[in-house]
Amino acid sequence: MSRTTIQSITVEPLTIPLLEPFSIATAIAGIEMALLDALTRSYGIPLYVFFGGASTSVETDMSIPMVTPERGYDLAKETVARGISSIKIKVGGDLRDDVARVEAVREGAPNVGLILDANQGYTANEALICLEALDNRDIRPMLMEQPVHKDDHEGLRYVTQHTTVPIAADESAYSAANVAHLIEMGAVNVVNIKLMKSGFVEALDIAAVCRARHTELMIGAMMESRLAIAAAAHFVAGLGGFRFVDLDTPMLLAEDPFTGGYEQSGGVYDVSGVKSGLGIERK
């Protein structure tokens, strides 16, 4: 096997303005992604094999934003028609509106799994009231993500301890040390890893902490193009063991400058056709 050794990597001079902590992690994730792509290309292996090669495909959900029940119903029907088998619904606003939206989505898509993402919008009590109202309507979500403010770890624990619906930390979870603390507290059942929130190396450590403590893994994304979503798909397919996959953002973009990385069918991203690296090209 021929092997190319990387001698050097040139990065265009960067001016980084004042950044939020997550933005710094995002810059790190971008650099790590470029290095991992270059490294695995030089080895002549696809990125998912580098991460362990556990599988060659991942299946994503698709999100429905905070819309009216009527719009939610239509979007649910469209989502099912696309061949998607789980739907993530944005909640965390007015409780009545949220419950009505979830009910409408359930009606439009009776046979798909439902994930709720409150995006820090509830108090602990409101989150429990929402789940109870849904339970009264025979709706049991597979998961509720980030019910309370990211710094309200006690509130997160309270919700987790008072419902049988699995509760995930998203904004509350950004490093291996912080995830270990949340798990130790009994504050979460599931951790949503986002590469743009922690970078790749830290994400590997978060996944290891979760596996060691029998905490389920989810992968999510910011508003990302096919480039970063392909990297996340390779990460998840290669590592394996992710119960929840929320990588739908390329489907929401009007235009995407990238092609390749995976083949899509319905909600399934298949990376088996990638021969080396990330397999992404510019259009």
Amino acid sitting at position 266: G
Q: Which is nearer to Mg ion, 37 or 246 (CB)?
A: 246
Is 150 noted as a catalytic residue in this protein?
no
Residue with nearest beta carbon to Mg ion:
170
Break the chain down into helix, strand, coil percent, rounded to 5.
45, 15, 40
Tell me whether residue 117 is one of the annotated catalytic residues: yes
CA distance 234 to 278: 8
What is the distance between the alpha carbons of residues 93 and 206, in angstroms, rounded to a whole number? 30
61 included as an active-site residue? no
Strands 268-270 and 263-265: antiparallel
Exactly one of 61, 145, 202, 216 is catalytic; name it. 145
Sign of CA dihedral 244, 154, 204, 216: negative
CA distance 75 to 88: 11
- CA 130/CA 99 separation, integer angstroms: 7
CB of 146 to Mg ion, least distance (A): 5
Minimum Å distance from CB 135 to Mg ion? 22
- Residue number with CB closer to Mg ion (117 or 224): 117
Specify the DSSP element, H or E, that contains 244.
Answer: strand 242-245
Measured from the CB atom, the residue of 92 and 250 that comes closer to Mg ion is 92
State the catalytic residue, choosing from 37, 61, 88, 90.
Answer: 90
The nearer residue to Mg ion, 115 or 128, going by C-beta atoms, is: 115
Task: Find the part of the chain contacting Mg ion (CB under 5 A) among 107-115, 166-174, 201-209, 210-218.
Answer: 166-174
Contact flag: residue 117 with Mg ion (CB under 5 A):
yes
Q: Give Dmax over CA atoms of the chain in angstroms.
A: 63
Instruction: Compute the least distance from the CB of residue 94 to Mg ion, in Å.
Output: 19
- Does residue 275 have an active-site annotation? no
Closest to 165 measured CA to CA, from 193, 130, 199, 200: 130
Site for Mg ion in 126-145 (CB under 5 A): 145
Q: Which one is catalytic: 61, 117, 126, 216?
A: 117
Residue 224 within binding range of Mg ion, rule CB under 5 A = no
CB 199 to Mg ion: min, Å: 18
Which H helix or E strand runs over 168? strand 167-169
Helices 21-43, 226-239: axis angle to 10 degrees equals 70
Minimum Å distance from CB 246 to Mg ion? 7
Size of the site for Mg ion (CB under 5 A): 3
Query: Given candidates 98, 170, 202, 224, which one binds Mg ion under the rule CB under 5 A?
Result: 170
Which residues of this protein are in contact with Mg ion, per CB under 5 A? 117, 145, 170
Q: Residues with catalytic annotation?
A: 90, 117, 145, 170, 194
